[in-house]
Structure 1
Amino acid sequence: MKLLVGIDVSSEKLDTCFLDSEDHVLLEVSLPNTIVGASKIKEHILRLNASVHYDRIIVGMEATSVYSFHPSTFLAQDDELKALSVEVVVMNPKAIHRFKGLFDEDKTDEIDAYRIADFLRFDRFNVSLLKEEQYMALQRLTRSRYQLICQLTEMKQHFLENLYYKCNALTKEIDTSVFGSTMMDLLTDSMSLDEIADMPLEELAAFLQEKGRGRFSNPDKLAKSISKAIRDSYRLGKVMQNSVDVVLASYAMMIQTLRREIKVLDNAIQNLIITLPESKSLLSIPGIGPVYAAGIIAELGQVERFEDEAKIAKYAGLYWKRKQSGNFESERTVMTRTGNHYLRYYLVEAAGSVMRNEPVYREYYLKKYHEVPKHQHKRALVLTARKLVRMVDVLLRNHQLYAPERSV
C-alpha cells in the first residue's frame, strides 16, 4: 500500500490531498504556505503512517516558480520523514496539465491537489528536481546572470536603433564595436556630429587613442572611417537630435551599469564554483570557464539524478521528436524547446566556445553547418551542444578530466 500526497502550491496556500494506492481520499486540507503549514503536512503523514505502515510514501507538487522551493526542501530534509524513506518529487507542470486534461471537471485548488496525488499513483513521474543547497545557491547566481545578459542584449538593440537615427552609416563603415568605452564616449559626448566631422583627422585619431588608452591598432584608419560615416549620414533637426542624444546617453549608462553588475556576479560565481569538486571535470574542457561550468552544474545538480545522457538532453530541451506513421518516416523534426531553458542556454553557449577551442568539435560543427542551406549556424550550434551533453555526462558521472582525442 502506498500513501500519495498531492500538494497544489501557491504563494499563500498548500492545498493538500492524501490518497492511498486504492484511490481512496484519506484527507483534504488547505494550509498556509509557511513552515507551520508544512509542519502540519508532516504531522498528517506521520499520523496516517502510524496506523497503516505504508510500503511507500510519495509527496508530489508542481514546480511553481519560487513557491514550491520552501515546502519541498522542508519535507525532503526533515529527519523523521527521511527515516520513513519519504520521496519528495517536484514535477513539471506541463505533465500535470496534460494529465488533468483527460478529465472533464472544474479547476479548483482542491481538485488540482487530488489530481497531483492521482498522477503519483501511476508512478510515471520523472526524476525529482530537488538539489542540495550549494547547487541552489549557485543557481541563484547563474540565473541572475542570464537575466542580466538578456537585459544587456535588449539595451544594446535599443542603443543601435537610436544610433541609426543619429548616424545611420556608422555601423557600416567602422570595423570596431560601437559598444566599446571609447566609441560610447564619442557617440554620447556633448560634441555634435558636425563638430566631430570638422575635427582634423590627426586630432580625432589622437582623441581615440587617448580615450582608448592606446588599444586601437590603427587609429588613423578608424578616424577616417568615423569621419566618412558622419559625412554620409542624414542630419536630424535640433529637437529630434536632442531627444536622440538623451536616449543614447541613457542607454549607454544602463549598458555600463549592467556590465559592472555582470562582473560582480562572475566573481561570486567563480568563488562558489571552486567549492564543488565536479567543477574540475568541466573546467578541464577547452573553452569552458567558470561561468559556463557553473551554469551547467547549477541546473543539473548531481548528475546521478539522470539515468543517462539522453535524459539530460531531454531535460535541457535538446531533443527532437520522432515522427513516424506506417511506412512514413519524417525527415524534418523540430527541436522541442521544452525543459530547462537556463541549462539549454549555458550548454549552447559553452558549445560555441568549445567549438572555437577544440578541433574535434570544430570539425563536427562545420560538418553540420554544410548539411543544410538554411539556419546553418543555429542548427550546427545546437547539434554541437547535443554532442557536448554526452561529454559532460561522461566526465561528471566518472569524475574524469577531459583528454583530447589522439590523432592517428
Structure 2
Amino acid sequence: MLFPEYERLFSDLFGKTSSELLMNYTTPEEILAVDTEELAAFIAKHSRNRLGLDKAEEIKSAAESSFGIDTALDAFRLQLRLLLQQIRFTEEQLDSLDVEIEKRLKSVDTNLVTIPGIGPVLAAAILGEIGDISRFPTGVKLVAFAGIDPTVRSSGEFTGTRNRMSKRGSPYLRRAIWLAASVAKIHNPILKDFYDQKRAQGKHHLAATGAVARKMTYIIHAVLRDKKPYEPIA
C-alpha cells in the first residue's frame, strides 16, 4: 500500500539489503528525500557492494512515479517497521535452532551429512523420523515408509499409466528427502545425470525429482545401515 512498485525492485523483499532499506526509508517520500549518492552508499554497504548507484537510481525512479497511498502514512510506516522487526526476530530464532540442531546432531553417530544435498537440519529431520534403521531391513521398506514409492491408479478393469507417489508413511520424512533430492539433482553429478536422464525420457520435472528422491532414499538407507560415509557409485 505504501509503495506498490517496490515489489519488482528486489528478488528477495525480505533479504538483508531490502529489509534494511525498508527499515530506514519506508515510504517513497523518504526515499526521494535522501540524496542519490547517499542512498547508493547505503545500498552498497548492506549488499556487500553487489548493488550500488544503478539500484539507487532505479529505486528513486520507482518512488517518483509511485501511486502508493498518501494518507495515514505514520500508521502504515509504523506497521511495516513492526512487521520487519518480527521477521528479524523470527530469523534470529531460526538461526539459534539451526545451531542447536547441528550441535545435537554431532553427538549422534551418523554419516548423513556426507550425502550431497543433506545438511545438518535435513539430516536431523531424516534421522528423527527414521529412528533405528534396523526397523527397515531393505531400502524398499524405507521408500514405502517415506511414501516415495510409486503407485498406479486402478479401478475395476482399468489400470492407469501414470505413476504417482503413494504419499503413505511420514510426510515429514518425505518432505526432508524431497528437499535433499532437489539440491542433489543440481550438485551431485550422479543424481544430476539421473535427473537429466528422466527428463530426456519425457518425465515431468516433478516426476523426475521424485525418481531422484527414491534413489536418494536408497542411499540414505545404505549409509545408515553400513554406518559408513557416502561413497558415490556410478
**Bin of the TM-score, shorter chain as denominator length:** 0.7 to 0.9
Question: Is 1:334 aligned to residue 169 of structure 2?
Answer: no
Cα 1:190–1:326 shift into 2, 3 Å: closer
2:54 to 221, 224, 240: 221
Q: In the alignment, what sits opposite 1:59?
A: none
How high is the TM-score relative to the length of structure 2?
0.86
Cα 1:377–1:255 shift into 2, 3 Å: farther
Q: In the alignment, what sits opposite 1:74?
A: none
What is the alpha-carbon distance in structure 2 between the residues aligned to residue 253 and residue 362 of structure 1?
A: 39
* Aligned partner letter, 1:223: A
1:294 to 124, 138, 142: 124
**SS of aligned partner of 2:228:** coil
How high is the TM-score relative to the length of structure 1?
0.52
What is the alpha-carbon distance in structure 1 between the residues aligned to residue 2 and residue 200 of structure 2?
A: 39
What is the alpha-carbon distance in structure 2 between the residues aligned to residue 398 and residue 318 of structure 1?
A: 22
Q: CA deviation at 1:172?
A: 2.2
Q: In the alignment, what sits opposite 1:392?
A: 220
What is the alpha-carbon distance in structure 2 between the residues aligned to residue 294 and residue 340 of structure 1?
A: 15
Whether the aligned pair in 1 keeps the contact of 2:28 and 2:66 (CA below 8 Å) is no
What is the alpha-carbon distance in structure 1 between the residues aligned to residue 34 and residue 102 of structure 2?
A: 45
Q: In the alignment, what sits opposite 1:247?
A: 79
Whether the aligned pair in 1 keeps the contact of 2:185 and 2:191 (CA below 8 Å) is yes
Q: In the alignment, what sits opposite 2:97?
A: 265
What is the alpha-carbon distance in structure 2 between the residues aligned to residue 201 and residue 404 of structure 1?
A: 53
1:107-138 residue CA offsets vs partner (Å, 9 max, x unmatched): xxxxxxxxxxxxxxxxxxxxxxxxxxxxxxxx
Question: Is 1:205 aligned to residue 40 of structure 2?
Answer: yes
Higher relative contact order (CA 8 A, sep 6+): 2
What is the alpha-carbon distance in structure 2 between the residues aligned to residue 349 and residue 365 of structure 1?
A: 14
Structure 1 unmatched ranges of 5 or more: 1-164
1:40-86 residue CA offsets vs partner (Å, 9 max, x unmatched): xxxxxxxxxxxxxxxxxxxxxxxxxxxxxxxxxxxxxxxxxxxxxxx
Q: CA deviation at 1:314?
A: 2.0
Whether the aligned pair in 2 keeps the contact of 1:304 and 1:397 (CA below 8 Å) is yes
Matched pairs, number: 234
Q: CA deviation at 1:381?
A: 2.8
1:383 to 211, 228, 231: 211
What is the alpha-carbon distance in structure 1 between the residues aligned to residue 82 and residue 171 of structure 2?
A: 30
What is the alpha-carbon distance in structure 1 between the residues aligned to residue 66 and residue 52 of structure 2?
A: 21
Question: Is 1:311 aligned to residue 141 of structure 2?
Answer: yes
What is the alpha-carbon distance in structure 1 between the residues aligned to residue 65 and residue 202 of structure 2?
A: 38
**SS of aligned partner of 1:323:** strand
The structure with the larger Rg is 1
**SS of aligned partner of 1:322:** strand
- The structure with the largest helix share of the pair is 2
**SS of aligned partner of 1:400:** coil
Q: CA deviation at 1:220?
A: 1.5
* Aligned partner letter, 1:206: A
Question: Is 1:323 aligned to residue 159 of structure 2?
Answer: no
Q: In the alignment, what sits opposite 1:134?
A: none
Whether the aligned pair in 2 keeps the contact of 1:319 and 1:335 (CA below 8 Å) is yes
